[in-house]
Amino acid sequence: MPLDVRTVPADAPEVDALLDAYLDERERTFPRAQGTYARKRTPAAEFTVPDGVFVVAYDDAVPVGCGGLRRIADGRTEDGGVDVRFEVKHVYVTPEGRGRGVATAVMDELEAAAGALGATAVVLDTNDSLVAAGSMYRSRGYARVAPFNENPNATAWYRKPVR
């Protein structure tokens, strides 16, 4: 059966399981030189239409990945215009799902949702220690930008215009 990516309530049981696994892994693998990982979940309410969505990728009905999208404060474009921003959060693929296009499918769905919700830009933060994630974001057209939040776990911030 092909990969199935669906919008789900962000407080669904499979989301809780995926986010627990994500936070456990990040805590375990966080670069010690950067301090202690700040274990924080975005409230489920922030991932509801019209302010966001949460998606889960299923492989033969087994959850193998997830990600959320939430509206954040507008920013300014380089030419002084308004940048309607939605932020990608909690992109995670289980070890069993890795290397099979799950993250790409999740990001495709989140970026499409951002456009449908009126975004002019999608932003995200990550940690440079997540080399594969940074590479994927850059390959999708995300450009590194100045920090737009104070996430203590982040070392890199990205933006991609919505076309």
In whole angstroms, give the CA distance from residue 115 to residue 163.
8
Tell me how crowded residue 146 is: count the other CB atoms within 10 A of its CB: 6
CA pair distance 153, 49, nearest whole angstrom? 27
Average of pLDDT values for 105-123? Answer: 98
Taking the domains of the chain in order of start, what are their residue ranges? 4-161
Per-residue confidence (pLDDT) for residue 1, from 0 to 100: 60
Residues pairing with 159 in the sheet: 123, 143
Mean pLDDT, all residues of the chain: 96
pLDDT digits (tens, 9 = 90+) for 23-65: 999 999 999 999 999 999 999 999 999 999 999 999 999 999 9
Look at domain 4-161 and name its CATH class: alpha beta
- Rounded Cα distance between 79 and 73, Å, is 18
Count how many Cα atoms sit within 13 Å of the Cα of residue 25 in the half-sphere of its side chain: 14
